[in-house]
Amino acid sequence: MDEKKIIKIASATNHFGLKNDTKIKAKVRNKTCGDEITVEISEDLKNMRFETQSCIFTQASAAILTNHFQQIHKFGINKLLKLINKKIQGEKIKIPLQINELDFLVQNKHKMRKTCIELPFKAAIKALDD
């Protein structure tokens, strides 16, 4: 069942909780539903942490991003966000990263939660741009 798998993904909380030991931070709000996420990225750009007041889709997306941050950052967060957007809209594309949880989350059947899924990626982009 999808709900159980999404909850399992979101429960990977080893990067949950801010340490407040870096200047690379951002807080972003989903204008559609009100979800909020705050992210912080380590100065060496190797780790990312988060806190949310959000739905399970945002939490799952944040868990995926933080658990695979180095790989995703190396690939390009902006580039991956564009691919996520296309795939969740139903385009037949393959995301070139081997992250099974991400492939599961960005299915077309979750397109109504697109803004929730994208929120952690937008927060990371904002943190790195500021």
35-63 pLDDT tens trace: 999 999 999 999 999 999 999 999 999 99
**Strand duo 24-29 + 36-41: pairing:** antiparallel
List the structure tokens of 10. 């979101």
pLDDT at residue 1, as a whole number: 55
Asked if residue 106 lies in contact with residue 117, where contact means CB atoms within 8 angstroms, the answer is yes
**Which residue type occupies 22?**
T
**Residue 113 CB-half CA count within 13 A:** 19
Query: What is the C-alpha to C-alpha distance for residues 118 and 81, in angstroms, rounded to an integer?
Result: 7
56-95 pLDDT tens trace: 999 999 999 999 999 999 999 999 999 999 999 999 988 9
List the structure tokens of 78. 């902006």
Reported as a pLDDT band with limits 50, 70 and 90, residue 130 is confident
In the chain the domains, ranked by start, together with CATH numbers, are 2-129 (3.90.1010.10)
